[in-house]
Amino acid sequence: MRPLLILSLALIAACDPGRGVIFQVSPLPSPTADSARLAQSREIARVFAEKYQMQRQPSDNECRFGRYFAQDSIRGRKIGLNFCVRAQGRVVEFRIVEIITSRWGPMGNALRSELLDTLRTRFGSTAVIER
């Protein structure tokens, strides 16, 4: 019985389940320059991070334009909520990831839904792709 328990725990730890979504904001033919779109994206991320009481984390090559973290929970169990903004060529990516869960927590789900609505309203529904 003990070897089965150890094997089960090892498999669960190796999987690191999580939920995630990426919203890509692509440039459209418009008078708005890429730098203005990036500045607007950074401001949107900052406003959402503040609204959801997320703490700013050090930027790195993965998330050069904003990295934020907060605790979320599912049925009383704490999970990590990560929010990242980065540029991929001319596309701006907003990444939301909740770790060690197979479901969205209430805060992650709300952030995901509200951010998508805001990006579509600000940049147009054809410019925003959900992955």
pLDDT at 7 over 50: no
Does some domain include residue 6? Answer: no
Q: Which of 96, 75, 73 is nearest to 84 (CA)?
A: 96
Task: Tell me the residue range of the domain where 82 lies.
Answer: 17-130
Q: What is the pLDDT of residues 91-105, one digit of tens each?
A: 999 999 999 898 999
Does some domain include residue 2? Answer: no
- Domain count for the chain: 1
Does some domain include residue 97? Answer: yes
**H helix and E strand count, the chain:** 3, 6
Does some domain include residue 76? Answer: yes
Does some domain include residue 5? Answer: no
Does some domain include residue 10? Answer: no
Q: What is the CATH number of the domain that holds 110?
A: 3.30.310
Q: What is the pLDDT of residues 61-85, one digit of tens each?
A: 899 999 999 999 999 999 999 999 9
